[in-house]
Amino acid sequence: MLRKNQLILLSIFSLTACRGSSDSADNDLIIPPATDVLARCEVQSNLEKVSSSSNISFYTEPSYQSLQPAVIAASINNADSSNYAFSWSQKSGESLILKSTHSPMLAFTAPTGGRYEFELTAISENNSYSAITAIDVVEGQTNPLAIRVDH
């Protein structure tokens, strides 16, 4: 019975918070003006370019911490990467769950510190490239706040 009363009170408070109205016309709502200009980030990321012996360049973060979302980006030198099919694989380090393995951007979260190696193969109609990159992950905080926005 107590649980039922708690649900009723929660429902009343919820309706009170939104003024108990189902009317979608809200005169207090202020709509910001539309603009064609996008705001530029004040702090730009500091990705480091790592060249390979093939035609692939990797872009890595300055440092990686365990238990934090991470990314490695890649590009094909002097080429439009949209014409390529990408395939990432892990070569060394504790086994990871790799996200977006068929994209030029590899996302993952390393559970522990250590050295991790990844291989990228990029294939187009006329070319095929393969390269390996390595990163070092240091131990991060034990109770981090980690937010990932997958694409």
**pLDDT tier at 38, thresholds 50, 70, 90:** low
Is the pTM for the entire model greater than 0.75? Answer: no
Please tell me the distance from the alpha carbon of residue 24 to that of residue 11, in angstroms, as a whole number.
19
Closest-CA residue to 99 (of 133, 150, 140): 150
**pLDDT of the residue at 147:** 63
**pLDDT of the residue at 140:** 81
**pLDDT of the residue at 63:** 92
Please tell me the distance from the alpha carbon of residue 15 to that of residue 60, in angstroms, as a whole number.
48
Which domains can be identified in the chain, with CATH numbers?
48-138 (2.60.40.10)
pLDDT in tens, 73-93: 999 998 888 899 999 999 999
Q: Give the pLDDT mean for 13-27.
A: 54
13: helix, strand or coil: helix
